[in-house]
Amino acid sequence: MSGSGPPGLGRGGRGAALMAVLQNPIRRPGQEPSASSTSGHSPPERASPSPPSSESAGPGVAARVQQQNGHSGARPSQSGEGAATKPQPSVGRGLASLYQQMQLSRGNSPVSSGSSSPSSGAVTPSGTPTPPSTGTGTPPAKPFGRGIAGLSARGSPTAVPAFGRGIAGLKQKSPPLAQTPAESSPHSPLASPTSPQGTGTTTPQLQPQAAASAVRDKPEVQVNIPPPGTSGAPIKVATNYLPIKFETEAIWQYAVSFSPHIESKKMRMGLLYTYLDNISKVRAFDGTILFLPVQLKEKVTIFKTKGLRDNTEFEVKIQLAKALQPKDCIQLYNVIFRRIMRILSMSQVGRHYYSPDLATMIPQHKLEIWPGYVTAIHEYSSGLMLQLDVSHKVLCYQTVLDTMTEIYRRNEDTFKDECTRQIVGTIVLTRYNNQTYRVDDIAWNKNPLSTFMYHDKEEMTFVEYYKKHYDKEITDMGQPLLINRPKKEQLKKPGSKASVICLVPELACRTGLTDEMRSDFRVMKDLAFHTRITPAQRHVSLRKFIDNIYQNRDALKELTNWGMSVDRDILTMGARQLRPEQIRMQNNTIVANPEADWGREMTRDRATLPVDLNHWLLVFCKRDASRSSDFLKMMERCCPQLGIRIQPPVRFQLQDDKTQTYLNCIRDAINPQLQLVVIIFPTSRDDRYSAVKKLCCVEKAIPSQVIISRTISQQQKLRSVTQKIALQINCKLGGELWSLDIPVSKMMVVGIDVYHDPARGGKSIGAFVASTNKLLTRWYSRVCFQTPQQELIDGLKLCLVASIKKYHEINHDLPQKIVIFRDGVGDGQLNIVATYEQQQLSACFEMFGETYKPSLTIVIVQKRINTRIFAASNGRQLENPAPGCVVDHTITRLNWYDFFLVSQHVRQGTVTPTHYVVVYDTSKFNADQMQRLAYKLTHLYYNWPGTVRVPAPCQYAHKLAYLVGESLKREPALELSDRLFFL
C-alpha cells in the first residue's frame, strides 16, 4: 500500500526514512529550507509464524493493543518566548532511528525540511505510526534504546533519557491506543540468527540487549568525584571482571539505502552480502545500518544488482557515517557475546543464557536447575571489561495445569480465587521455545479450542496452532488460557505491534520459587546446595566459560573477527579493609569480631535505652496455652538481663482461632495505658496477620508483636528466641539496643525504599525513614502512596518536610547535613534522581526560611548486582572477603562517584557487595568519610545483632514499605511514627 505521506519511521519504513535522510542535504545556518516530497509507505512486514491471541479472552484480553500515533505530543520550544510549539518526531529503536538522531542533532529533519505537517492527502495504513514533521533543529524526545541503535544516540547531547519504571515514579503518558481485534499468536517464536539465502554467512541479530543505555554512563549533574579513599588496611582481591583488548583501531559504521525501496529485511541483507562477500564476511547489518571491522575504499559506494527472485534492478548506496571507537561499540560487543553464547549451545531464557543439557534435577521437590552465565560489557574506570558471573534458573517439573489441578482438588469453591492468587504475577517458561512470560491474568472464558485470526487470513484454534508450528498435542480442552499483556515500553514504540499473548497452561512451566517453597526449610536447603557456590567454585566456573570460548573454533572466530580478545583469568586488584567498629551498649563497649556479629555479647549486656514493659496484653488460643506459659516464664527471666523490667500481662485465652475472635478480643482489651499487644497464632495465615496488623497499626495505634506457635515450641531454642523477641519489643516501644560513634553533628540520615505490587495491581508505596538524633539510633517514619495522577516524589517531599519538623521538635535545631540513601533505583534512573528528584527535595528547604540551606547528599544503594569480590590470599583458594572490604577504583563507573562495599558476612555461597552511587553531593565529605558513614549505618539495624547488607535506614524503609504494601494497605497511625513498630 502506498500513498503520498511521509516515509514511516517504524520497522517497515526504516529504509525509506533513511533514504529521505540521505537525500536531504544538511542546512547551513540561515539557509532556507528546501521543499521535500513525501513518498509512499508500505505496511510493515510481518514475521511468520506470529503469535496467536484470543479475540475475547476477558477484560482487556480481547483487544489487541496497538499504537495509533507515532508522536509523543507537542513540546514547547526552548528557543524563545512565544515560540511556536512543534510536535516531536517518532524515533524507533532500530538503526534507522540512530541515523535519524544524528541528522536531527545536526539540524536536519529526516521527514521534511521545514514543512510543518504532512501532506493532507497522505494515506497511512491502519496500525502504522504517522510521524509528524518537526521544525529544523528541534531535538527528538526519544528514549535511548539498549541495542545497537543506541550507539549514535549516546553522542547526541540533546537526546532525552528514558524514564524508568521503578521508584523514580516519573510516568510518561502513553499516546492514545486504537483497539482492534486480536490477530496475533500466543507468543513469538524464538529469534535465532539467520543467514540470507546463498550467502552462508551468519550475522548477529542487532536486537535490543541487556546492556544499560548510554544515559547511565553520563550524569547530567556533574558530581565532584573525590580521589579514592586511603583509610583501612590494603588487601588483595579478585573480581569477576575480565579486561578486553582490541586489535582494530575502529569499527566503521555505514548507512545503506536501496532504490527502489525494499521492504523485506532478508532481501536487503541478501543483496548487500552478495557484494560484501568479496570484501569482508564479518559484518553486522540490521537492514539499514552496517558495521564493518574494515573500511571500504570509498566513502560512498554505489553498486547495482538484480533481485534474488526476479530481474528487478536495484541500486544500493553504502555511505560512510563515522568511525566508532571501541568504547562507542559497547552494544555491538554485547550482541557479539550473545552470539557466542548461542554458538556454545546455550539457550536464552529471559535476558540470560543457560545450558539445559547440564540441568540438575531435584526430584523430591519437582524442581530442576539450569546453570548459566550473565555477561555484560561496559566501560569502567580502567577501560572496557567483560563482567561475567554464574547464574542459575530454577524451573518446576509441574506445568501450570498441574498446579491448577492440585488447587482444584484441595478446594473447589475457591478454585478461581486461589489460582489467581498463586499464578497471576508469576513468570512461566514455555519449553518449546525457551521463552519466558509474565502471567497478568487468566482467561476463564477461553480454552484451547477457542479461535483467533491467524495473520488476518484464517481462523485457527490454539490446538491447531501448536500442532502446526511446534508439533505439540494439547490433551485438556477445558483448561483456561493464561494472559500476558504487553509492557508499557512496548506500546510506546512507534509502529508497535505488541499484542496480548495467550498461553496454554499445559505447555507452560513455572519458574522461580513460590512463597510456600521459600518458607520450606528443606526446599531452600536442597536448592542452596546447588546454587550457593563458594568463591573457589565460582572461579572455576568462570574460567571454564573462557576456556570454552578459546577451545571452540567458531566462538573464537566470532571474537577475533571483530579484533577482540579476552583475558584468560579474572581481574586481580587492590582494595582496603576498614577497621572494625566499636559497639556501645549500656555497660560495655566491644569491638565487632571479624564476622561483624555481636549477638552473644548483646544478650550478656543491657540495652542502651531499655523500656519497661508494665502494661501489655498476651492473646493466644486454647491449644497454645502451655506454649504461651513457657514463653511468659522465659520473658520474665530474659528481660531483666537485658535491663527491661517486666510486669505480668493481661492474658486472654481464646476458644477458637478465627480472625474475628482475635480482633474482638484485642479491640475490647485496648485501653490508654496499654503499651503492647502480643499475639500467638497457631499457624501462619496472611489474612489473619493482616487483619490484626491493620487493627493495631492503623485503627488503634498500639505496637504489636505476632508470634507463630511453632517458633516457641522447642524448649532448647526457647531462650534464644525469647531474647530476640524481647529485643524487638524494646525497639517497638521506642527503646535503643546499641550505638556507635558518629563524629558528625547536626546530620539527618534518610532511607527511602518503594514497594511495588504489580501482581495485585496495587499502588506503589514509598517508605521514608529519617534519623532524629545524633547517634542515629532513633527514627521517624512516614509512607506515601503513588497514584496514576500523582508522582511519588510529591509524597516524598511531604515526608521530608515532616521529618525536618520532627528533627527540630526533638533537637530544637534544624539539620545542617542531610544524607539520603535511596534504595531500588536502576541504572536508567540515576539521572532522574540526580536532577528532578533532587530539585524537588531541595525545594522543601525554602519552607523553613530563605537562609536555611543545608548540604544535601543523595546516594543510590544497589544490592541486586552481578559484581563479585573475592579475597585473594597468597597461595590459597579464593574466599569471601571480611566485612568492611571497600573497592573504589578500577571497576567503578567512568563518570560517576561510586564504590563497592562488602558489609555483611555470609556462611554459605559467595558474598555480594553493595554498590553505592553518589548522584548528588554538596557536603564536604571525602571518599573515606562517605564510605565510613555507609559502613557505620550497616551496624545500626536493630533486628539483627550484626551488620546487614544495606544501611539501616534503607532496611527500615524496606520493612515499613513491605508491611504497608502486604498487610496494611493504608498509612499507619501517626502516633507510631517515632517508633520502629514495623520490625
Q: Which amino acid is at 469?
A: H
**Phi/psi-derived region of residue 974, left when phi > 0, alpha when psi is between -120 and 50, beta in every other case:** alpha
> Which of 292, 253, 251, 252 minimizes the C-alpha distance to 275?
292
Which three cell numbers mark 464?
491447531
Look up 753 and say whether it is catalytic. yes
CA 698 centroid distance within chain: 31
Cell numbers 501482581 label which residue? 759
Report the half-sphere exposure of 817 (CA within 13 A, side-chain side): 17
The span from the CA of 427 to the CA of 514, in Å, is 11
The span from the CA of 285 to the CA of 130, in Å, is 26
> Which of 537, 378, 394, 383 minimizes the C-alpha distance to 915?
378
CB–CB of 362/328 below 8 Å? Answer: no
Strands (E) across 240-366 are located at 241-246, 251-259, 284-285, 289-292, 300-306, 313-324, 347-349, 352-354, 360-362
Look up 630 and say whether it is catalytic. no
The number of residues in the chain equals 983
Choose the catalytic residue: 791, 879, 971, 978.
Answer: 791
Cell numbers 532524629 label which residue? 772
Which residues, including other chains, have CB under 8 Å from residue 298's CB and lie 6 or more apart?
none
CB–CB of 68/176 below 8 Å? Answer: yes
Three state DSSP letters for 447-493: CCCCEEEECCCEEEEHHHHHHHHHCCCCCCCCCCEEEECCCHHHHHC
Q: Residue 293, preceding bond cis, omega within 30 degrees?
A: no
Choose the catalytic residue: 187, 261, 378, 958.
Answer: 958
| Sign for the pseudo-dihedral over CA of 900, 919, 488, 490 | negative
Which three cell numbers mark 786?
503513588
Cell numbers 523514580 label which residue? 168
CB–CB of 77/138 below 8 Å? Answer: yes
Q: What is the DSSP letter of 58?
A: S
> Which of 891, 927, 195, 246 minimizes the C-alpha distance to 574?
891
Q: Which helix (H) or strand (E) holds 557?
A: helix 553-561
Rounded to the nearest 10°, the torsion over CA 157, 160, 166, 170 is 130
Which three cell numbers mark 845?
528547604
The span from the CA of 846 to the CA of 848, in Å, is 5
Choose the catalytic residue: 753, 837, 898, 928.
Answer: 753
Q: State the DSSP string of 112-163.
A: -SS-SS--TT----TT---PPP--TTPPP--PPPSSTTHHHHTT-TTPPPPP
Choose the catalytic residue: 823, 898, 921, 928.
Answer: 823
Task: Give 178-181 contacts, CB < 8 A, sequence gap 24+.
Answer: 178/66, 178/67, 178/68, 178/127, 179/63, 179/64, 179/65, 179/66, 180/63, 180/64, 180/66, 180/126, 180/127, 181/55, 181/62, 181/63, 181/64, 181/453
CB–CB of 705/728 below 8 Å? Answer: yes
Which three cell numbers mark 223?
558530581
Look up 791 and say whether it is catalytic. yes
CB atoms within 10 A of CB 380: 17
Residues annotated as part of the active site? 753, 791, 823, 958
